[in-house]
Amino acid sequence: MKDKLDRYPWSSHKGYLSSAAKWNWLHKEYVLSMFSKKEAERVRRYRRFVSMEDAQEISKVFEGKKWPWLLGSEPFVNSIKEKFFPQKTDDEVPQSRELALGTDQIKKAVCELYRINEIELLLSRRGIFNEPRNVAVYLTRRLRGDSLKQIGEQFQMNKYSSVSSVVERMKELIAKDRKIRARVEELISLLSKSQEQT
């Protein structure tokens, strides 16, 4: 909108630079404190930060029609997901679903608890109950809210009805079987702790 921030009249930028009383309404201490612990350094570092040119990658993002729901490096995006999901999901805000733990994280936690590899996790044989796979399917539905189709794709299950059956069967088993309930609760706790640590 303007090539220099100082020329844009609707910004609080001038307030961050000024010590005049007319800017006392602006709560700028928190923002400035992120630049330095030393009060004398804060404004200088803030000024340098806002005068930096945007990277081409960032410029392309903001020139596009659709902006990403979260912008940053992969480790940053993962840390936000782990910290704020599932407590912050809201059906009215579809983007909040994107804060969910990745299916890969759920699979990894299940594999570690059951001491198996992912090939064994995805194994499906007629008439044989694969508890780790069923637990992972259940947790993906419960913690991520993925559709039956999405879960089917993740766990190599061709029919939505099969995914639905696994989820319903796991609900029943968790209600009846203390050992399975304890394992599921342990996994939920481990996944929650991984969120809190970040």
Residues 33-62 have a mean pLDDT of: 82
pLDDT for 198 equals 44
The pLDDT tens digits of the residues spanning 76-114 come to 776 666 666 555 444 454 555 555 677 888 999 999 999
Smallest Cα–Cα separation from 85: which of 75, 94, 96?
96
Decide which of 93 and 63 is more confident.
63
| Helix H or strand E encompassing 72 | none
10-30 in b/e form (b: 16+ CB < 10 A) is eeebebbbeeeeeeeeeebee
- Mean pLDDT, the chain, rounded, equals 82
Q: Which domains does the chain have, with CATH numbers?
A: 5-51 (no CATH), 66-98 (no CATH), 101-197 (1.10.1750.10)
Contact 195, 101 (CB under 8 A): yes
CA angle 97, 164, 105 (to 5 degrees): 45
Give residue 40's pLDDT band: very low, low, confident or very high (50, 70, 90). Answer: confident
The residue with tokens 């200088």 is 44
Decide which of 96 and 7 is more confident.
7
pLDDT for 95 equals 53
Give residue 26's pLDDT band: very low, low, confident or very high (50, 70, 90). Answer: very high
Quote the tokens at residue 176. 């009846």
The pLDDT tens digits of the residues spanning 142-172 come to 888 888 999 999 998 988 889 999 999 999 9
